[in-house]
Amino acid sequence: MSKSSLIALVTGANKGIGFEIARQLGKQGITVLIGARDERRGMEAELRLAGEGVDARFVHLDVTDQQSVEDAAVAIRGQFGRLDILVNNAGILVDEKPPSDYDIRSMVAVYETNVFGVFRTTKAMVPLLLASEQGRIVNMSSSLGSLTLNSDPNFELASFLMIGYNSSKAAVNALTVFYANDLRESAIKVNAADPGYCATALNAFTGMRTPEEGARTAVRLATLPADGPTGGFFSDAGSLPW
């Protein structure tokens, strides 16, 4: 299939890295569905991208709401009959502290979006991805979720003891592996992407990389050829350890 006929859904695409993923996919001629829970912000993102010549369409999608996710899947099936690319980008960070000081309610909130939201959305969209000739799933993760890296006291981000966020990304990595194994006999490829430490609202714009840079690996994984990898964890520099 040519890229101009592909349909991509990006969750949390109204700002930050998600918006840049949508922009970069759209610049390749891919129709981009802007998944956002806030209609005003979703429509603003659609209009901004449309002004750049991107075929962008807002889709109301709150990854923490089962009915919202199911409604989005029904709408996509009704309009397109399939989905070619799913980028699970929506994520939050809540009142992060070291484990000894962290509140269970904050962890529950983080997992509801970062983990259960990924599972909920993926499960709803897999039937649509199976209808594609080349389904791709990209889960936005982080090196902060790498157990191998965080076990190394010399890891440059070892001091970022954000137990809710970090462990949620480790869980996203696990979902990536299990979905890749489950779908290995299909054409769907499932991979996790580390965007690096990007300046976004999530971290009060303290990151050293731009959202444009952070989007690159996800876009590459979303457009992998048929002989590309599945069940992997990647950054711009290559493969990362779990």
**DSSP assignment, residue 100?**
G
165 is catalytic: yes
Residue 196 CA, chain-centre distance (Å), reads 13
Measured CA to CA, the distance from residue 89 to residue 193 in angstroms comes to 10
Helices (H), the chain: 16-27, 39-50, 66-80, 104-114, 116-130, 147-150, 163-182, 211-222
Measured CA to CA, the distance from residue 84 to residue 5 in angstroms comes to 9
Residue by residue, DSSP assigns 139-161 as EE--GGG-HHHHT-TT-TTTT--
Catalytic residue selected from 102, 111, 165, 179 = 165
Give the residue numbers annotated as catalytic, written as ranges. 165
